[in-house]
Structure 1
């Protein structure tokens, strides 16, 4: 026989709810999901809870346990004191459907907005060739099980609902980083898209997403920070800035600062800001000049979804490794997450 433990579980729906107390039997070696199933069998048959694999690989049973975003199937009861009350609540960042089930469709919307892998021209499927070092750079990010704990804990959208429209979140920053690192991806605007359309600049690298990742992906160190560095390198490096001014002058283009930024969308893919000439001084009002000094209303172009199937979804290959159960190609002596020095853009072991 197990011992009785005290639980508080949030019950309710989109109209509101409250924490309810339960006394549930807990046996040695059990996880929180086991207890929730026993609770459904004994005290709360109508308790809604999403789950699937019970092995920490599907990401379905995401919830908050004692205030920390976790997978219920990977949270052992032995981690709590026997006298401690275990509080289980739904993910706070997403709308509640009922009890512990939340509407995470926000994440699938952002997934569809992320431009898909663009195959190189002139190379047919099956002819792709990559060096092992290039595989290792993005292999860590392929471990994501889309539990959305990182999305839930990110305070940019957790505490500011109005940021959701312009912010893709950590899950899709690692997707952008993975494709930006991919040597066969033909798109060259990954970092610009991450900054302009995915809201990379909102992230202030507090590493809360890394702390809750059940797959131990170094989201901040190995994906977000390198992407930020590459954005800064192109946008704010003084030598790059000077070179861009010189080349613009040679081509007869307006230098930076003498044009207004606008966003266009032709439907042909993710659109980045285009440069529109500013009217001559005689045709501008003093108010317009005053507003032009600081652009407080930076235009963020609307993302455009990659091609989808007739069912309105991306191909499964966009989100899943094609051989999820295959043996590791790296051998048994490789451990993940890989050391940071092996995930940089310039691999120390790569021949020059």
Structure 2
């Protein structure tokens, strides 16, 4: 009985070749490993096995191992991925897998990067502005509006979209002026939210998207959409519509005139 079990186990396991980046902010390089792979495993399983058997000081960030925390982001064969959602069966058994840290952010150690850039950008986006005169719990929205926003709420903040966006990835100097697709998506969500009262509070989200968050830097290559593990259509459903609304606000003479009339009416007040 034990012999047949062992034979079955060996039939579904094999030895894989891995190249894993090791180092810190001062530099590093790729290290070669040969490691056992079993049926049904993902890349994160193999990284953990390398830790357990060959490199106990290998640094890797992870948490849920269920594709919902976004912690184990890395680049596998040059493509930004969640290691816990990247199955070994996606690759040929004789293929050498290269695992490197996210390229757009500073390396702390091995596969762990400093993603604080994203937290800084998150703080720069003004939050939801509650509608005046409506208490929390009394908000009402049409289902179609709920559905539109819900897609963007699926974001797990893995920052793969931020990492693959060439505006951030290839041009360090852009980081001060560009929020990146994850946070422009947040601006787009709030701008289309039917209960967001930012305009009444004097906040023009379309203007800030263009002038403060760098919307114009995005040239809609859809690389952010391509790597999103939640399948969010970041480009088509958030960034392109936001660009269209921002362009209308700035260049459409009728929209411009209407906004001037609305602002003048609001300034005059009901007793004017």
TM-score by length of 1: 0.68
2:228 corresponds to: 213
Q: How does 1:241-320 map to 2 (within 5 A)?
A: 243=257
User: Which of 62, 67, 81 is the matching residue for 1:51?
Assistant: 62
Q: How does 1:64-143 map to 2 (within 5 A)?
A: 64-143=75-154
- Distance, in Å, in 2 between the alignment partners of 1:240 and 1:96 is 46
1:37 corresponds to: 48
The Cα of 1:36 is off from its aligned counterpart by 0.4
Q: How does 1:301-340 map to 2 (within 5 A)?
A: none
Structure 2 segments unaligned to the other structure (5+ residues) = 1-9, 265-272
The Cα of 1:238 is off from its aligned counterpart by 4.4
1:344 corresponds to: none
User: Which of 186, 203, 207 is the matching residue for 1:192?
Assistant: 207
The Cα of 1:239 is off from its aligned counterpart by 4.2
- Distance, in Å, in 1 between the alignment partners of 2:144 and 2:53 is 53
User: Which of 4, 16, 20 is the matching residue for 1:5?
Assistant: 16
Deviations 1:21-64 (A, max 9, x none): 00000011100000000000001100000000000000000000
SS at match of 1:151: helix
The Cα of 1:240 is off from its aligned counterpart by 4.3
2:245 corresponds to: 230
Q: RMSD across aligned C-alpha pairs, in angstroms? A: 1.6
2:7 corresponds to: none
Deviations 1:212-231 (A, max 9, x none): 00000000000000000001
1:181 matches 2:192: yes
- Distance, in Å, in 1 between the alignment partners of 2:192 and 2:253 is 24
1:160 corresponds to: 171
1:144 corresponds to: 155
- Distance, in Å, in 1 between the alignment partners of 2:138 and 2:255 is 36
Deviations 1:142-162 (A, max 9, x none): 000000000000000100000
- Distance, in Å, in 1 between the alignment partners of 2:219 and 2:17 is 38
- Distance, in Å, in 2 between the alignment partners of 1:42 and 1:234 is 59
Q: How does 1:11-26 map to 2 (within 5 A)?
A: 11-26=22-37
- Distance, in Å, in 1 between the alignment partners of 2:254 and 2:152 is 32
The Cα of 1:191 is off from its aligned counterpart by 1.1
SS at match of 1:28: coil
The Cα of 1:131 is off from its aligned counterpart by 1.2
2:3 corresponds to: none
- Distance, in Å, in 1 between the alignment partners of 2:79 and 2:109 is 20
TM-score by length of 2: 0.88
- Distance, in Å, in 1 between the alignment partners of 2:26 and 2:68 is 31
Q: How many residues align?
A: 247
Deviations 1:161-220 (A, max 9, x none): 000001000100111111111111110211111111100000000000000000000000
- Distance, in Å, in 2 between the alignment partners of 1:150 and 1:124 is 35
- Distance, in Å, in 2 between the alignment partners of 1:240 and 1:214 is 37
Q: Which has the higher helix share?
A: 2
- Distance, in Å, in 1 between the alignment partners of 2:175 and 2:103 is 14
1:257 corresponds to: none
